[in-house]
Structure 1
């Protein structure tokens, strides 16, 4: 068994697609659109085959508050392969104006990681 995909409701479908594809080298599929439900989505694929699904519908309410601090899905962790890549990506996010909510460090359970917030405030752990 394995996780096939993880889905996010998003407010800015195109902006979020561009963000994840730019920084994490994901490949998007063609945009899906269901006009009856006013639903649009993209699947973004990692080279390993895992996927993220970004979904938008105008009637889905935006969450106001600190994401990742409620019961349920807390964060997404993306392994980038090395400590050096964690550091490089963290600096790329900083230079692009994204919030770094956790500076690069080795955690108590042995991960080397930083935490950034995506454009809609979702916490993303970048691990080595």
Structure 2
């Protein structure tokens, strides 16, 4: 068994799509639009079988309590500690909010964390 994909509600679908394509080498499929339901989405595929569905709906307009129960973050493995530093600095230079600086965690991971365009946490791991 394998995970098919994760999904994320967005207010600005195009900004979120561009973020994951630009910084995490995602490849977006065509935009799906259902005007009757006020729904739009993209599937963004990453190296291997990983996929993220980003969705916008006229019926989903408010973010819940932060932090709250539910999904905490998404994580991308970039291959080395140097790559973690490089991508973190690239995101900082482009104006994205760094949530945690590159560091070794208590459970042995080397990572940093950044907020995507809508504030969702994204881990960058070695």
Deviates more, 1:108-117 or 1:75-84: 75-84
* Stretches (4+) displaced over 6 A: none
Instruction: Give the Cα separation in 2 of the matches to 1:87 and 1:103.
Output: 9
Please, which runs of 5 or more residues in structure 1 have no aligned partner? none
Instruction: Give the Cα separation in 2 of the matches to 1:11 and 1:112.
Output: 31
Instruction: Give the Cα separation in 1 of the matches to 2:83 and 2:114.
Output: 14
TM-score by length of 2: 0.96
Q: Could you say what the CA RMSD is over the residues aligned between the two structures, in angstroms?
A: 1.0
Correspondence for 1:107: 105
Instruction: Give the Cα separation in 1 of the matches to 2:68 and 2:5.
Output: 21
Q: Does 1:3 align with 2:3?
A: yes
Number of residue pairs matched? 126
Instruction: Give the Cα separation in 1 of the matches to 2:44 and 2:78.
Output: 16
Q: Does 1:26 align with 2:19?
A: no
Q: Give a deviation string over 1:32-87, Cα, whole Å, max 9, x none.
A: 01111111000000120210000001221221653xx2111111111111111100
Correspondence for 1:62: 62
1:10-49 matches, within 5 Å, as 10-49=10-49
